[in-house]
């Protein structure tokens, strides 16, 4: 019978440390580290000092810690967190709002070398000038591997002119990546991104964390306006439609009142305004000109009309509106 393998003490200590971090912080962000270099990790740890703890551990230890914390705390969605920890990941423990943590990551942009055995996402250029590399075998690497135009000057290798070695999408092999790194070429932008987040029992996927908030607000406004339009057409009454439905009913009541063969004394001014507007439209149709109700002959401007004439014009306008003679 084969005895059980003893678990190394360092693994037990690591799981214990992770569980303590879970208890001390309400938010946990999962960070993929496969594309990160040591310099980035060191820099971000400095930027997160007193704000968050970035802990890199083996996946099986992270899963053990999540399971143990779930049993101790009875918090929700920890199984979802465990299921979304990739093969190479760090756990970032914090009490910051998860979107504030994302902002810190976004404010720290690194330029890194092209990754070997991968397609470059950008054009790669080697600038003209002194490489600082001594003469010797290196010059053959520059000429043969990257086909760079070189010359020797003051015992160092110089690049004669700016040269593009790769276009975006081109494959970068191991030798090419090594030579570019030796030249100090860092063309690729690198941001630390949150792959998944567990926030005090709630979960946030990367598509939620990195959504276009401006476009989201526009979409919400568009949906609201469409829903309101449908509600108005159906006559649904609530706080958002009551005023608009009241205004619509008022306009429809006025229109109906204009069509009825009766005169409401309280509506006299409105009758006059509508009659004047109708006469202006008729003048425009018949004579091809627009006649304003306020227009007067040039020589009569500034003169006041007699009250009797005003009353006469009002009578004519009303009779024209209702078909009277």
pLDDT tens for 228-257 read 788 877 778 878 778 888 888 878 777 776
Domain count, the chain: 3
pLDDT value, residue 13: 95
* Residue 125 domain flag: yes
* Residue 60 domain flag: yes
pLDDT value, residue 323: 45
Return the higher-pLDDT residue of 315 and 156: 156
CATH code of the domain covering residue 169:
3.90.105.20
Structural domain ending residue among the three candidates 211, 245, 269: 211
Same domain for 178 and 311?
no
Same domain for 95 and 130?
no
Indicate if the pLDDT at residue 120 is higher than 80. yes
Indicate if the pLDDT at residue 309 is higher than 60. no
Counting residues of the chain whose pLDDT is more than 70, the rounded percentage is 84
pLDDT value, residue 127: 95
pLDDT value, residue 187: 93
Same domain for 31 and 144?
no
pLDDT value, residue 292: 52
Contact status, residue 57 vs residue 16, Cβ threshold 8 Å? no
Residue of 34, 48, 31 whose CA lies nearest to 100? 48
Contact status, residue 57 vs residue 10, Cβ threshold 8 Å? no
Indicate if the pLDDT at residue 53 is higher than 90. yes
Q: What are the contacts of 131-137 at 24+ separation with CB within 8 A?
A: 131/156, 131/157, 131/158, 131/159, 131/183, 132/156, 133/157, 133/182, 133/183
CB neighbours of 128 closer than 8 A, spacing ≥ 6?
A: 158, 159, 160, 161, 162, 163
pLDDT value, residue 122: 94
CA distance 31 to 193: 6
Indicate if the pLDDT at residue 310 is higher than 50. no
Same domain for 94 and 134?
no
* Residue 138 domain flag: yes
3-class SS string, the chain: CCCCCCCCHHHHHHHHHHHHHHHHCCEEEEEECCCCCHHHHHHHHHHCCCCEEEEECCHHHHHHHHHHHHHHHCCCCHHHHHHCCCCCEEEEEECCCHHHHHHHHHCCCEEECCCCCEECCCCEEECCEEEEEECCHHHHHHHHHCCCCEEEECCEEEECCCEEEECCCCEECHHHHHHHHHCCCCCEEECCCEEEEEECCEEEEHHHHCCCHHHHHHHHHHHHHHHHHHHHHHCCCCCCCHHHHHHHHHHHHHHHHHHCCCCCHHHHHHHHHHHHHHHHHHHHHHHCCCCCCCCCCHHHCCCCCCHHHHHHHHHHHHHHHHCCC
Return the higher-pLDDT residue of 227 and 53: 53
Question: Per-residue confidence at 322, pLDDT binned at 50, 70, 90?
Answer: very low
Look over the chain and give the mean of its residue pLDDT values, rounded to a whole number. 83
Backbone angles phi, psi at 241, to 5 degrees: -115, -15
For 147-151, 183-187, 295-299, which range has the lowest pLDDT when averaged over its residues? 295-299
114: how many CB neighbours lie within 10 A of its CB? Answer: 22
Angle at CA of residue 151, ends 168 and 120, nearest 5°: 10
* Residue 251 domain flag: no
pLDDT value, residue 313: 45
Same domain for 47 and 167?
no
Question: Per-residue confidence at 29, pLDDT binned at 50, 70, 90?
Answer: very high
Encode pLDDT of 266-291 as tens digits: 677 777 887 788 788 888 887 776 55
133 half-sphere exposure, CB direction, 13 A CA radius: 21
- pTM for the model stands at 0.61
Indicate if the pLDDT at residue 61 is higher than 90. yes
Average pLDDT of the segment spanning 183-202: 92
CATH code of the domain covering residue 69:
3.30.70.1730
pLDDT value, residue 290: 55
pLDDT value, residue 236: 80
28 half-sphere exposure, CB direction, 13 A CA radius: 31
Q: Which domain holds residue 65?
A: 9-109+191-211
Same domain for 171 and 280?
no
């Amino acid at each position: 019978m084969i005895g059980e393998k003893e678990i190394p003490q360092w693994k037990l200590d690591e799981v214990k440390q992770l569980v303590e971090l879970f208890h001390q912080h309400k938010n946990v962000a999962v960070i993929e580290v496969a594309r990160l270099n040591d310099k980035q990790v060191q820099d971000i740890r400095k930027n997160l000092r007193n704000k968050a703890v970035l802990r890199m551990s083996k996946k099986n230890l992270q899963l053990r810690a999540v399971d143990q914390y779930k049993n101790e705390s009875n918090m929700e969605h920890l199984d979802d967190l465990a299921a979304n920890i990739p093969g190479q990941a760090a756990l970032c423990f914090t009490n910051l709002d998860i979107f504030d943590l994302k902002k810190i990551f976004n404010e720290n942009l690194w330029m890194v070398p092209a990754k070997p055995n991968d397609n470059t996402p950008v054009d790669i250029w080697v600038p003209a000038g002194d490489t600082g590399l001594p003469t010797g075998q290196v010059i053959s690497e520059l000429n043969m591997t990257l086909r760079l135009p070189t010359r020797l000057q003051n015992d160092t290798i110089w690049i004669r002119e700016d040269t593009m070695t790769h276009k975006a999408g081109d494959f970068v092999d191991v030798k090419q990546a090594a030579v570019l790194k030796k030249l100090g070429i860092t063309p690729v932008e690198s941001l630390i991104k949150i792959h998944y987040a567990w926030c005090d029992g709630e979960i946030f996927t990367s598509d939620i964390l990195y959504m276009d908030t401006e476009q989201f607000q526009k979409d919400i406004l568009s949906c609201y306006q469409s829903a309101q339009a449908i509600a108005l057409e159906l006559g649904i009454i609530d706080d958002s439609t009551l005023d608009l439905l009241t205004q619509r009913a008022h306009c429809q009541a006025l229109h109906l009142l204009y069509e009825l063969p009766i005169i409401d004394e309280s509506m006299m001014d409105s009758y006059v305004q509508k009659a004047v507007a109708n006469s202006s439209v008729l003048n425009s149709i018949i004579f091809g000109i627009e006649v304003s109700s306020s227009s007067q002959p040039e020589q009569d401007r500034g003169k006041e009309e007699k009250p009797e004439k005003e009353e006469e014009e009002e009578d004519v306008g009303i009779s024209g509106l209702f078909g009277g003679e």
